[in-house]
Structure 1
Amino acid sequence: MTNFSERFAHLGRTVGRSVAVLALALPLLAGGASAQTTDTATVKTTDLAVTETIDLSNSPIPAQGKFYVGQRVKYILTASNNGPSAANNAVLKETTEAGLEDVQWSCVGQNGAQCPAAIGTGLPNFAIPVFPAGSDIIVTYTAKVTAEDPQLRSTSNITPPAGVIDSNPVNNTDQVYICAGDPPRLNVTKASNGPWAAFQSGATYTLTVKNLSGFADTSGLITLTDQLPRGIGAALASRFSPAAGWICSYSGEAEQNSTATAYAPDPNEAQLLTCTTNNVIPKGGTVTLTIPVTVTGSASGSLTNRASIGGGSDPQPLPDPVTCILGEQCAENTTLVTARPDPIQVCAVGQPVNLLSSVLRRYDDNDNATIENIATFIPAAETYTAAGANNRFVIDGGYYFNNGYGPGSNASTLQVVVNGTSYATLRTEAGYSGQASGTAENGATFVGGATTLTINRYTFSRLWLTLPADVKSITAFKLVFKSSSAAGEVGDDFGYDVKLFGCVKPTPAATVAKTVQNISSTPIGPVGTTGTGKPGEVLEYCITTTNTGNVGLGNLGFGDNVPANTTFKVGAYGAGKDIRVTYPTGDTFLTSAADADKGVLAAGRVTVNPNNFVLVPSAKYTVCFRATIG
């Protein structure tokens, strides 16, 4: 019995990592001989265990175990033989619910355990060929999520081989799950407040960003890119925010803001805008971004603008806005722009004349001063009358501005002053806004009759300013630059190239000459101012009007009495041809009856009223009729 007790105690101390053997001792036979028969039953036991974990390092929301359809998930299985017996050919089995595909695994043995292979495909279901007590195998497998499931389960199980009993089957199974659903799906649409006209104020694009996912909020950086079309400029201050938490920049902004590069606003239009945020857009959420732009003088026709969106854990990469295919992440807008009209410069006499002796040209970049550039005039400029629409003076010029450089650039103004009155003011904006506003004042108007407009930075913008009708002559003209910067600060700059047009003062004038000739005498009488003849002979009277002024004459009327002792000759030039009118373009014949043509004889007076005819300077027209001497 002592021997049995010692062996049991020993076995008790070694349970867990050794083989248990039970030996039964039989009683001694008579005579002291021990007839001993040993019946030994050998039973192997061990403790197999399996654990399963999920690598959450690529989970968009690790605390919730979320993964998106299309992502790959990494699972780690650890199968352990806690002993005391070997468990060669123990079976490891992994099962999953539908929604995990394209499984690839790898296997590593530790402390003497051997894997059936180093790598494999499909779920890791295999026998472990060598699995000694105290050893482990670690299986890592990845799978692609292909379906939505709030609890997509994976279950691992290990079973002992034949001839081995698992002493603790409770830890033979483990289960984990992920929350699988659609990832964030970013969508962008684009609109404008057009149609627009060149130089108009208040032009904007509106971009609407949506998260179409019904499962996941966005996470991480979201980037929106917007390629402006040619003729459209970004009107953004530095670090412009179109919505809370969003920051926008444009190509060339960093260079312009640098004190090292000074003037570098390139490109001035058609910039690539980039707007970013780390804000969370909840599933089904929407954000609206409003982008101010300038419509330059070169803009016209249908202008197409394209934008794209990406990031925020949307699995699709950010597309190029220029080449992307229109869809959820790519949008475009086409806006009609009315081109800048040419200035109306019409003179009643001749062509418009620049009243300045030289073009008023300057670039003002003084950061803290007021500078007046006073024009000089051609001789007798004050005698010229107005040009342009409705006989008004027109100031036709090109203007441009530059935001200066450095982060503290301040606003400046440029005033257009005629005869001591300001008729227009251009104003920049502090902080590299990319635009300057213009306001017509005191009855003046800009392009197309507008009273406000916007010009683009560093773009030569040809504008014209029509002065009000009460400006009858020009005696003084200047442009006044004013900086709002204090000493030591940086201010915006203005450049310009300006002309002022007027016309020669119109002077209407005409002369009238009357001649008579006896056309039936033999020989025919001379042309003179006095006619003679015998009764029955015919006299031809002709009255010629000559434009001796410098403007065209319209609404010309003719009237002359048939001389006494004569009778108006009907049909003098043929049937139905009583009166001959010789225009600069040729002869026309009229009747003397009160009919539809422009000639008539009434109460002894011949009248002709060519009311739609304009006699240009130096031209003449003649009216002739004939009378018979009584």
Structure 2
Amino acid sequence: MAIRTRGNRGRVGVRIAAGLGLGMATILLPTSSALADPAKDATYQEMLTLAQQISALKPQIASGSGPSDQLEAALARYSDLSSSLGGDDPGRILGAGQSGTQSSGPVLPAGGLPPSCSTTTSNFLTSPGSTVTTGAPVSSVLAVGGAGSYVIGVELSLNLPHTFAADLDITLTSPGGTTTVITTDNGAGNDNVFSGSLFTDVASTPVTDFPHMNLVTSSPMEPEGAFGAFIGENPNGNWTLSVIDDAGGDDGTLVSWALSITTLPAPPIITTVPNVSVSPGTTITTGSPFSSMINVAGAGTAIFDVNLNTNITHTFAADLDISLESPIGIFTTITTDSGAGNDNLFAGTLWDDDAALPVSDFPHVNNVTSTPLQPEGAMASFFGLDPNGNWLLTINDDAGGDDGTLVSWSLDIQTFTCAVGGTMADLSITKTDGVTTATPGGSTTYTITASNAGPDPVTGATVTDFAPFFCDSFNWTCAGAGGGSCAASGSGDIGDTTVNLPVGGSVTYTATCGISNMASGMLSNTADINPPGGVTDPNLANNSATDTDTLGAQADLAITKTDGVTTAVPGGSTTYTITASNAGPSGTAATVADTFPASLTCTWTCVGAGGGLCAAAGSGNINDPVTLPAGSSVTYTASCTISPAATGTLSNTATVTGAATDPVAGNNSATDTDTLTPQADLGITKTDGVTSVSPSGMLTYTITASNPGSSNASGATVNDTFPGSLTCSWTCVGAGGGTCTASGMGNISDVVNLPAGGSVTYTASCAVSAAATGTIVNIASVAAPAGVTDPNPGNNFANDTDTVLDQADLAITKTDGVASAIPGGSVTYTITGSNAGPAAAMGATVTDSFPATLSCTWTCVGAGGGTCAVAGGGSINDVVNLPVGASVTYTAICTVASSATGNLVNTATINGPAPDPNPANNSATDTDTLTPQSDVAVTKTDGVTTAVPGQSVTYTIVASNSGPSDAPTAPFIDAFPPSLSCTYTSVAAGGASGNTAAGSGAISQVLSLPAGSSVTYTAICNIDPAATGSLVNSALITSASDINPVNNIATDTDTLTPQADLIVTKDDG
């Protein structure tokens, strides 16, 4: 077996050769200046093969069935090869069924052991010669005795010829019951590949990846599982090799098998290195292998155990090859193409030699993390190496179509040393209180025993036990046995430094914990023993002991509830006092609950006593998590409004429940019950909004029955018997939940529902008899239903009284005698108010609000005794006296605004103090269509009749409106002839607008010309020098309301009189 190295780095590992049937292992060390000699290695390999043959032949010869000549030839060749190596011997050949030990060196990797460690390697062989057939499991037992007590290395040599290797499942089980898988269905259809195989954690190739060849022994190999799982066990006892042929058609023989076991005389001192992790987030792609590094520093110098944690996402696990390399270049295979086509199997995987199944045999499930797993190679191959330096995790995706990510990975490392000389004592401690549960508020008693298993006595060991947080008191005594001694007693934490322990001696502490009544969860307590300086404890694992009890609290919770009364009024209120208490012995978290009836609307406050804690306030139901130490309480004061609709009885229950066991559950709820006694203060109002009425008139009554509370009144009665002078019909509408009959004729006698705050309103339309005289008195009433008390019956009646008045038929007329009017002109209205009786109308009112487009003055003359104001200005609002047959006539002269448009509408009204039997003639309206008339005109002159080409003329152009109506849109144009080049200015007057203050070229503007306004343009024009004939220039203005188009155009004509100032000069030079 060769320890693996990476590349050609010049690192040489220890080579360990082991022969099947030799039951030994020999360490071959190369010189410091050279690598191992390949020829020498080949010689060793041949010697190992011969040793296997010799081991197989000896038992046959001993039984008289073997070929002795073959044995003699093998022995002779073996001796010759040994001589060629200077006497080197790969091992000591043992006979059938024999076992033996030697101390030639440990079965360890290149790292070796710390200098302080002394090891022994023992070799054991058995030759069962058992036939392996399909479906008949073979178990072979190898007894191991006389080895050391602490395993640090195991190797298996196997001679199992079989004609179809892939049929075989082989496992190895230690005396302690640990089983590791050697191979399951590996080797394909090759024959006899395990006929001399060495299985070791430090082989370069796992059995799953070995290039097996037909009839060629496969060796050395890593088993599917890891022999590192046996580290720390006592190897003495029966080891079992189990072989199963799980497919038909082939068989074989378990000729022999051997174990090479390396042990320490005592357990090493193990130190755990803090977890080291890295999160590279590297993408895994096909054909792009990469390595991720973790640096370990500050650890010990010899590895005891290594575990790998990976978080790798990948959508096809079988694409992945993963290996882990130590700082000195030794690596192990984690997985090669395991997991089939499943996704994300290694996204949180622990790789551990102690796992139950190898990665190659694990029942992987898609998108479910496979963990824990034994790697294909063994983590034990790192045993003894220095962990400090750079570790590499290498990943290769060797098939296309899928990818993934190395999210993170980490290492859990333990290092070890061995005790160096001096005193050694295996101190241990136990602790128990004999129970698994404890009661808060009670107590528990721990028995803590410290002992010494030797081999040396100890003076001055230290026992510590810190009192648990939940112990209110912690008192202890101590007594020794077998010569052990300790402090006699104490209270509080145990910190005894006076413990003396001869070999086999012990000290026992009896510690009583008074448990806090509010303790919860778990009561955990740990005791430790530590050796004094100069004493080495080879097994620190038993130096601490913890006792854990589930805290099973017991609390006698109780609750009371009362509102101090036995009756309650719907619509009123009541106040409950609710007290939850804890009589112990344990404190507990609890819940106080009170689901108030739907008929209650509540708010509440809470105060604790004796350490009790609760919510300070809330509204609605109580569902309050509270804290109740033993002897404490919480008190709620709940102020509740009772629904006005509530009936029957008011029953309310409060409960308290706790996390602790309650020994008296009967007092965990309390109920308060009150008889409901409804009260409703019903009232009624009635009015028709008037105090008098005329015969043959109409009265409209509004009758409202209401219930301001406290309780609902369902089935109340409203009555109204109308007097004989009225003929009535009515409707009814409810509000606030009130209901009533929608309508009716004649008297009202209605059963209604009046919730608190509700009402019903009747509207009764009543015709007054023509013979009615005097007064009309009408009374309405409301009465509570049976079972409802009305505390104020004085408002259960209402009446309305009206005086019967005489009538006056007032009328008014209004006209201006025309159907149209001109804005800017005037109209004259004649308005006549009269009284046809039968009663006089003294103090009637005539009103006429003239529209804003009118400016009016008026006079008035009475006739038939009628009187009015003589004259006035603006709108009419005149108080007049009209005896029967009298009238008043107003003459209103009104100027119409020149800007008025549309229709001129004006209404006059008359109203009297007494009812009017015919109000339809109390108003009159006159409407005139407004027809605007405007006279827009234009003038134009330049003040001359002739003009000279090449000179200029100045035009004055005036656009105007002489009314009477405004011309809001008057297009104005002056297109100067081509022979003129003009600039102009303009000035508006009388409110005119739309003109441009200055410009050049032709004028084209839309003017707004109120009546009497104008715009004056001054145009200065240069005459073209080439102009001839006459200079003719016209201006034009138009308006839709123009009544005189004759003056809408103006023209100025000038005769052009060219002038030339000719000059002649002559010069003969």
Query: TM over 0.5: same fold?
Result: no
TM range (shorter): 0.3 to 0.5
Larger radius of gyration: 2
By percentage of residues, which structure has more strand? 2
TM-score normalised per structure 1: 0.33
TM-score normalised per structure 2: 0.22
